[in-house]
Structure 1
């Protein structure tokens, strides 16, 4: 699997926009789920960052690009506590978004300020993403691997079913993408 964030003419731009959307939420220890080549690491102190990704090529690129940072080739972590769990353009690729959020929640510290932050394409713009992926503007493999695109209402409901609540939401890139920050429900 290639680095999908670099596959396609506009993919590096999209990656930068996703990172800009999540930067206001980065606090404390950060777990970057689906870190790819590790671009988010540039905005987090190396002692506070862990990136995970199942793709060995992406992990090798991340380790090369950000020496001294922690990058692990696996799907998820267990028994680790983070203030922020970021998943940029990942939730649309998983077969069970509720189970995915539950697994991310297991990595949050149990404080009111802890957040899971996700970016995902908005389903209303799926046709643009599909067409752009066919002509080389966006990653074709990323588009082909989409399981489901969730709008705000479905994201909120998915979070609720995982024991999370919406703390912040906004669309960006002229509405083509969205960022949602989830907080834990009261224990």
Structure 2
């Protein structure tokens, strides 16, 4: 029983690691491999564009902290029991004004948060306020994805909607990437559907299902993306790099 318990603990640790940084093993243990691998790559590519003092808004567990080589990394999160229990955020706030002086940061990271914000104009205005002139904003937002973290899931944004929101607050978009803008988006959404159907299964049963049926969908998505044409109008995530006006 002790060996079995340790094996389960090890598998859970591997599963957690593969959640945000999926390697080849992630194909078989992470049902969101297609989404997370693309986001990981985009974050890694974008991290070098940010420097100085960085604010991670809605930091959660700071999953990509080690990718950013900045002078100071400050995690900000909503003051809630789950966020307090995680013990990861450096600063908590009530969800309105950020508790920082104007022009306090050289860069802001906002990763998969904007869809959970009910008043995006006010939220982006706060980001603009705490950024220094010429400061950079790295923003990631889902486009084609199921509702999650209910009931705090309020929006999905088109590329045109995000551009309008950012420019309204005085940002200039430097780069905009659309992740999985190919047939793999369909296979990732299929796996998301299967994940919801199986999320109440025992861990071992889910692991087996991931390693067989869902892994097959993932591999089909990767293969299809190599041979079928892209579709820039259907994709999983936005990754935008924007700059505050000087």
TM-score if structure 2 supplies the norm length?
0.56
Q: Secondary structure at the match of 2:173?
A: strand
Q: Secondary structure at the match of 1:73?
A: strand
Of the structure 1 ranges 25-34 and 75-84, higher mean CA displacement relative to structure 2 is found in: 75-84
Contact in 2 for aligned 1:115/1:182 (Cα 8 Å): yes
Aligned to 2:149: 141
Distance (Å, rounded) in 2 between the aligned partners of 1:59 and 1:170: 33
Unaligned 5+ segments in structure 1 are: 1-5, 64-69, 134-139
Aligned to 1:3: none
Deviation (angstroms), 1:46: 7.6
Aligned to 1:44: 68
Distance (Å, rounded) in 1 between the aligned partners of 2:162 and 2:74: 25
Deviation (angstroms), 1:43: 2.3
Contact in 1 for aligned 2:53/2:70 (Cα 8 Å): no
Distance (Å, rounded) in 2 between the aligned partners of 1:77 and 1:19: 29
Contact in 2 for aligned 1:31/1:51 (Cα 8 Å): yes
Q: Secondary structure at the match of 2:110?
A: strand
Deviation (angstroms), 1:155: 0.6
Aligned length in residues: 157
Deviation (angstroms), 1:32: 0.3
**Deviation readout 1:63-112 (Å, 9 max, x if unpaired):** 3xxxxxx62122433216211101101111111212111100111112x3
Aligned to 2:100: 78
Distance (Å, rounded) in 2 between the aligned partners of 1:13 and 1:61: 27
* Aligned CA-pair RMSD: 2.6
TM-score if structure 1 supplies the norm length?
0.71
1:87 to 95, 101, 110: 110
Which has the larger share of helix?
2
Unaligned 5+ segments in structure 2 are: 1-18, 20-29, 182-234
* Bigger-Rg structure (1/2): 2
**Deviation readout 1:109-134 (Å, 9 max, x if unpaired):** 12x3x211111112xx2xxx22xx6x
List aligned pairs for 1:27-176, cutoff 5 A: 27-45=51-69, 47-54=71-78, 55-63=80-88, 71-74=90-93, 75=95, 76-79=98-101, 81-110=104-133, 112=134, 114-122=135-143, 125=144, 129-130=145-146, 140-141=148-149, 144-174=151-181, 175-176=235-236
Aligned to 1:179: 239
Contact in 1 for aligned 2:174/2:242 (Cα 8 Å): yes
Contact in 1 for aligned 2:51/2:69 (Cα 8 Å): no
Distance (Å, rounded) in 1 between the aligned partners of 2:86 and 2:68: 18
Aligned to 1:67: none
Q: Secondary structure at the match of 1:26?
A: coil
1:21 to 33, 37, 42: 42
Contact in 1 for aligned 2:139/2:241 (Cα 8 Å): yes
